[in-house]
Amino acid sequence: MAKARGFVEFNTEACKGCELCVKACPFDVLDMNHLVNGKGYHFSYMKNYDQCTGCASCAMVCPDVVITVYKVK
C-alpha cells in the first residue's frame, strides 16, 4: 500500500513555539523556524514537507490549535 500523503497549514501568528508538534510528528516533518512571528516566538513549519502523511498527530497535541491538516484519502 502506498504511504498516505498530506500537508499541514499553520496559523503562524497563533504559534507559541512550544515545539510539542515537532516532537509529536512520527515522520520528522516539522521543525522550528529560525524566524519569529509577531509575538516573538519561533514558529513551527514543514521542513520535510513531502514526508507528511496527514496523520494529524501534530494537530492533536497543539495547545493553541494552530494547525490545519489536509490528507489525500
Partner 1 sequence: MSDIETYKKELLAQGAKKIFTKTKNLTDTPFSYCGGCGHGVVHRLIMEVVEELNITHDTIGIAPVGCTAIAYEFMNIDMQQAAHGRAPALATGIKRTMPDKYVFTYQGDGDLAAIGTGETIHACNRGENIAIFFVNNGIYGMTGGQMAPTTLPGMVSSTSPYGRNMDTHGYPLSLTELVAKLPGTYYVTRQSVHTPANVRKCKKAIQTAFENQKLNKGLSFVEIVSNCNSGWKMTPVESNKWMEENMFRSYPLGDIKLPQ
Q: Which residues of this protein are in contact with ligand SF4, per CB under 6 A? A: 6, 8, 10, 15-21, 24-25, 27, 29-30, 43-44, 52-58, 62, 64, 66-67, 69
Name the residues that contact partner 1, by CB under 8 A: 5-7, 11, 14, 16-20, 23-24, 41, 46, 49-50, 54-57, 59-65, 67-73
Q: Which is nearer to ligand SF4, 27 or 72 (CB)?
A: 27
Residue 39, classified by CB atoms within 10 Å of its CB into exposed (0-12), middle (13-18) or buried (19+), is exposed
Q: Distance between alpha carbon 51 and the CA centroid of its chain, in Å?
A: 12
CB 24 within 8 A of CB 8: no
CB of residue 37 to partner 1, shortest distance in Å: 11
Q: How far apart are CA 44 and CA 28, in angstroms?
A: 12
